[in-house]
Amino acid sequence: MEPEDEVLKRIHIDLWGPASVKSVGGALYLMVLVDGGSSMKFGYLLSHKTANLTLQVFTEFHLKAERVTGKKLQHVRVDLGHEWWNEKWDDYLRSHGIIKEGSTPYAHGQNGIAERAIRTIIGSIRCLLFDAGLSKSMWVEAAACSIYVQGFVPSNRHPGVVPLERWTGKKQDISHLHPFGCVAYAQVPTELVVSKLDPQSIKYIHIGYYGHGTYKLYDPASRLVIKAWNVIFEEGLSHLTLPPPPDFFPDPSPDTPTPPLDKVQHISCPALPVAPRIRLTDPPVHSTCLTETTAGPAPIPATPPSLIPSPPPALCRSTRVQHPTTASREAEETLLQETEARKWGDDWAMDGETPWAFMADDDLRVPATYTEAMRRPVI
């Protein structure tokens, strides 16, 4: 495959779905398009996957992409799905001079750029919904927000520039980005305020963007989504899973005298926000600091009860009735036949002590000696 040194030289397309949960708007599929020259991602939501619907989405993307970038689309890379390989797609691509490239059967790596993009988007959807505490039916909003934010994050293919800047050729501003799922207070328009005592803003949940400076807000009570621009965000504490930096607790200055050991005691400080401990083998997390006191020994800080690991649950025996499998019964029958054959001295069960002579023209195996054959009982 030729290297993609400019935008719209090749577009990688793939389809994900059906989703286990239908979205609020009825979407079940996610169509992802990735530009190889800029790593820019685009997502379209589909209620079903057919040639007509996928071609309609691609036509909309094609016109918009060429209008924004000022370049012409050259190649399209897809897998062997029936939604791509049909007469309607072939006629459209042929009329616009676009070359369609397909991967070989069972070679998903040949469409790896689109496959990797879908994996990244689905992983971010799972994290965003879990962190925001929203239901799975909101996966569409999480997908749209994830794809939009990834346009401001440099990729491994183009680490020196963000995808949106390479796609549009303009510098980008990220001051309008806010955490997904944070509290957002949208101002009530003055035309709707009746009394001076009426609330001046309404509390929502931030779930996405309508471009630069315009936000998509969600009301869980009424399940309505609004579009607002005059918004105050309450982001709260960041959810970090890394330990605090080394300079979080500054060292004392060299001029400060060190107090004696009998004048120092441990005092518990407010615990830092940490990720929930899932494994029982993880050690408890403590946050202590030193301070000076007048007297008293150094007591041992007690472990909070919430950080003491609980014993593992006792194992219970299953009440399911075990039934022997076909393989185990055949193995047992083979063992019995081999034991009986050893008893009568059959050659095939004697560990190769008496070799067999095989003839290409014979249908039966004839033993090299007839001694053992004569010992067999006649039935």
Q: Please indicate whether residue 279 or residue 15 has the higher confidence score (pLDDT).
A: 15
Are residues 75 and 105 part of one domain? yes
CA atoms of 94 and 357, how far apart (whole Å)? 68
First to last CA, the chain: 73
Q: What local confidence, expressed as pLDDT, does residue 326 receive? A: 78
Q: What local confidence, expressed as pLDDT, does residue 366 receive? A: 42
Instruction: Please report, to the nearest 10 degrees, the dihedral formed by the alpha carbons of residues 127, 129, 132, 137 taken in order.
Output: 180
Q: Please indicate whether residue 177 or residue 277 has the higher confidence score (pLDDT).
A: 177
Two structure tokens written together for 223: 């399940």
List the single range of 37-46, 63-72, 170-179, 265-274 with lowest mean pLDDT.
Answer: 265-274
Q: Please indicate whether residue 157 or residue 207 has the higher confidence score (pLDDT).
A: 207
Is pLDDT above 90 for 208? yes
**Residues of 315-341 as b/e, b for ≥16 C-beta within 10 angstroms?**
eeeeeeeeeeeeeeeeeeeeeeeeeee
The mean pLDDT of 338-348, rounded to a whole number, is 73
What is the tens place of the pLDDT at every residue in 217-253?
A: 999 988 899 999 999 999 877 666 666 566 655 555 5
In a domain, 160, yes or no: yes
In a domain, 163, yes or no: yes
Radius of gyration from C-alpha coordinates of the chain: 35
In a domain, 327, yes or no: no
CA atoms of 295 and 316, how far apart (whole Å)? 54
Are residues 190 and 125 part of one domain? no
In a domain, 130, yes or no: yes
Domain count, the chain: 3
In a domain, 318, yes or no: no
What is the tens place of the pLDDT at every residue in 105-117?
A: 888 888 999 999 9
* 91 — pLDDT class (breaks 50, 70, 90): very high
List the single range of 23-27, 163-167, 281-285, 351-355 with lowest mean pLDDT.
Answer: 281-285
List the single range of 82-91, 295-304, 324-333 with lowest mean pLDDT.
Answer: 295-304
Question: What percentage of the chain carries pLDDT values higher than 90?
Answer: 47
Q: Return the CATH number at 95.
A: 3.30.420.10
Are residues 222 and 129 part of one domain? no
List the single range of 7-21, 269-283, 337-351 with lowest mean pLDDT.
Answer: 269-283
Q: What local confidence, expressed as pLDDT, does residue 77 receive? A: 95
Are residues 27 and 89 part of one domain? yes
Domain that holds residue 223: 183-234
Instruction: Please report, to the nearest 10 degrees, the dihedral formed by the alpha carbons of residues 130, 133, 139, 141 taken in order.
Output: -120
Are residues 93 and 193 part of one domain? no
Are residues 111 and 45 part of one domain? yes
Are residues 106 and 195 part of one domain? no
Is pLDDT above 80 for 119? yes
Q: What local confidence, expressed as pLDDT, does residue 284 receive? A: 46
Is pLDDT above 70 for 24? yes
Task: Sort residue 211 into left (φ over 0), alpha (ψ -120 to 50) or beta.
Answer: left
Q: What local confidence, expressed as pLDDT, does residue 371 receive? A: 43
Is pLDDT above 70 for 328? yes
Please say which residue of 234, 251, 266 terminates a domain: 234
What is the tens place of the pLDDT at every residue in 151-172?
A: 999 988 888 899 999 999 999 9
- Mean pLDDT computed over every residue of the chain: 78
Q: Report residue 151 CA to chain centroid gap.
A: 18
In a domain, 80, yes or no: yes
Are residues 144 and 55 part of one domain? yes
Q: What local confidence, expressed as pLDDT, does residue 1 receive? A: 64
Of the CA atoms within 13 Å of residue 137, those in its CB half-sphere come to: 7
Helix-strand-coil percent breakdown of the chain, rounded to 5? Answer: 30, 20, 50
The answer to whether 235 touches 178, Cβ cutoff 8 Å, is yes
Please give the DSSP secondary-structure letter assigned to residue 191. Answer: G
Q: What local confidence, expressed as pLDDT, does residue 375 receive? A: 44
The answer to whether 49 touches 29, Cβ cutoff 8 Å, is yes
Is pLDDT above 50 for 283? no
Are residues 163 and 200 part of one domain? no
* 50 — pLDDT class (breaks 50, 70, 90): very high
Are residues 219 and 114 part of one domain? no
In a domain, 154, yes or no: yes
Q: What local confidence, expressed as pLDDT, does residue 257 receive? A: 58
Q: Is the dihedral of CA 141, 112, 108, 49 positive or negative?
A: positive
Q: What local confidence, expressed as pLDDT, does residue 40 receive? A: 95
The mean pLDDT of 59-64, rounded to a whole number, is 96
Q: What local confidence, expressed as pLDDT, does residue 12 receive? A: 96
Q: What local confidence, expressed as pLDDT, does residue 120 receive? A: 95
Q: What local confidence, expressed as pLDDT, does residue 253 receive? A: 55
Please say which residue of 234, 257, 276 terminates a domain: 234
Are residues 188 and 163 part of one domain? no
Two structure tokens written together for 144: 């749209």
Are residues 132 and 19 part of one domain? yes
In a domain, 223, yes or no: yes
Please say which residue of 168, 192, 217 terminates a domain: 168
Please give the DSSP secondary-structure letter assigned to residue 255. Answer: T
